[in-house]
Structure 1
């Protein structure tokens, strides 16, 4: 099957990173740093990116990788680089600090005809709280996501959501070899017919998003979780809708591709739909940000057009 080899490499890398991240999270002395934008980053973010970039580069040396982190902060702190290296050495014993920094910076590639995009820990605040987080990997060719893998160690017993374009989506257990096909929720009477929303209120306009959800019949209490685990929740029937609508005060905000690429294909291959707030497909072909798209709508499919209409009506009411 096409992309089977790429998918196996991505899943193996995501599993390794999940083991590493859980080991770091169980550590009693790990701390977070602040990036220039004041968002947190941890040893696990850097170490997971090093592991995954190393694995992808070994398997596909010609493929650029567009990832969230860089080693810039670590070059300023030898002690932090040492800690990251020690975390990586749990899986690659002979790794040296300069190698680890170089592996992290493999993620500074450019968007092209074929490239990988990676978020080593999506939902770092959730990771720090002991809640949901995700390790998200996607392969993009000609602007279309061809495969995605999202490791969610805190989603129920721990799992990887994965999909290949045209071949469906699956959920793989991190504890066993069991797998199951994913299918979105089609029962609108189910208590799981609900909105999945971020714990962090800065990730969208929560009042507007809840209003839209209620307008299309999602009245059950929302499912709150960090990270692209929300895409997994929709793909596996735990929720019906995920919205990321920008604040009216920040109309120029655009989403990062690594925050949505893997999740989007998993929902689509499970039978759902993903678009921007105007119904346009997400364009991953031009930039590390979705510069041609505003907002995100991911749904179980049947309600998608109604959601888009509710968003348009809501926007018209604000004029």
Structure 2
């Protein structure tokens, strides 16, 4: 029996592989001296962000022209800066050359998810001109995720650490009527032994795959999560990831994954109090990229993620969570908001705090106790 969404999975794998190679080549060519613009929220945007978004959307739109897209970037900065647009176009042309050397990820799909899939070569479509590239990037400005098929992407999640040559993620997720069905995330800088025992390998910013191309994780709803090494011309054999393979820990060894201390608007002092309430140290693992936090959870390198906003007026962006959540859930993890509800990704470009206030993600054996500790800490804070 074929895997549901087998064709979408195959194309997503090939596309993320190519976009991952492209972003990695930028780092190596420029030796981490990456040219950046500044967005309205003051976060840096590199030429790699724009080029990767163009590559991903172009490939998907050619095959699924009726699908919608939500991406982090728009082409406004490129239309206003011809020199920047030209540098991005050069990268898109480079990606086309990289893609021609990449072996098909779909021809061996039965090994990707454990089910028979379509055979043959998945050929990617690229923009034919710089003008088309700008129009393709702007296809990612859709606003609705509630109905129909919507691809959510973050071409480079963790741009600040990407610019430092540290961890980042190339992310893609297919939502159907607001529900994750396919998730693929490339981690080009992640040095991770895909054949080693789960739960014994740590993930941190400086654990960088200098010689290779990192790993890619993929999941289809109801069919598990897989990890594969990425090579220059192919994807390696997959390994199914199940958190059942990771033994429960003593509570004192529970590992909380956290953003860079002092660099987030979340309530980090309360995060620390939750950990201390449970008898463990804080922070355990520190990673800037939100999607890399989900990857670390999925691979058993950390155990818990808590996100406590300052108030219900706060929001988080959908592309920071779509894809990573299905990877963790299909591996056996649990994710709920602070009221115990499922995260609603059908809200559009933002996950609003008055719909889903905060998040707790944890391995099943720890989730209930962690969630209870979070609520107790918040209740004490509001007294």
Q: Does TM, scored on the shorter chain, surpass 0.5?
A: yes
Cα pair distance change 1:271/1:86, threshold 3 Å: same
Cα pair distance change 1:155/1:189, threshold 3 Å: farther
Structure 1: runs of 5+ lacking an equivalent:
none
CA distance in structure 1 between the partners assigned to 2:42 and 2:130 by the alignment: 25
- Is residue 113 of structure 1 aligned with residue 148 of structure 2? yes
| Deviation of 1:30 (Å) | 3.0
Q: Which residue of 1 aligns with 2:271?
A: 209
Cα pair distance change 1:169/1:190, threshold 3 Å: farther
1:1-319 equivalences in 2 (<5 Å): 1-28=3-30, 30-92=34-96, 95-111=128-144, 112-156=147-191, 157=209, 158-175=214-231, 176-184=235-243, 185-189=246-250, 193-199=254-260, 201-202=263-264, 204-219=266-281, 222-227=284-289, 228-246=291-309, 248=310, 250-291=311-352, 292-319=355-382
8 Å CA contact 2:251, 2:280 repeated in 1: no
Q: Which stretch of structure 1 is more off in the superposition, 253-262 or 297-306? A: 297-306
Residues 192-248 of structure 1 deviation map (CA, whole Å, 9 limit, x = unaligned): 7411112263152222212213323443751111221111111111110112221x2
Q: How many residues align?
A: 317
Which is higher, the Rg of structure 1 or of structure 2? 2
| Deviation of 1:297 (Å) | 1.5
Cα pair distance change 1:100/1:190, threshold 3 Å: farther
- Structure 1's consecutive aligned runs of 4 or more residues displaced over 6 angstroms after TM superposition are none
8 Å CA contact 1:186, 1:300 repeated in 2: no
For 1:48, what is the secondary structure of its paired residue? helix
CA distance in structure 1 between the partners assigned to 2:80 and 2:347 by the alignment: 31
CA distance in structure 1 between the partners assigned to 2:185 and 2:252 by the alignment: 25
CA distance in structure 2 between the partners assigned to 1:299 and 1:153 by the alignment: 25
8 Å CA contact 1:195, 1:241 repeated in 2: yes
Cα pair distance change 1:191/1:305, threshold 3 Å: closer
What's the C-alpha RMSD, in Å, of the aligned pairs? 1.9
CA distance in structure 1 between the partners assigned to 2:187 and 2:252 by the alignment: 23
| Deviation of 1:191 (Å) | 9.2
| Deviation of 1:95 (Å) | 4.0
Q: Which stretch of structure 1 is more off in the superposition, 192-201 or 170-179? A: 192-201
TM-score computed with the length of structure 1 as normaliser: 0.94
Residues 253-302 of structure 1 deviation map (CA, whole Å, 9 limit, x = unaligned): 11111100111100000011011222210101132111221212211122
CA distance in structure 2 between the partners assigned to 1:237 and 1:8 by the alignment: 25
TM-score computed with the length of structure 2 as normaliser: 0.79
CA distance in structure 1 between the partners assigned to 2:275 and 2:156 by the alignment: 28
Cα pair distance change 1:217/1:54, threshold 3 Å: farther
8 Å CA contact 1:14, 1:135 repeated in 2: yes
CA distance in structure 1 between the partners assigned to 2:288 and 2:303 by the alignment: 16
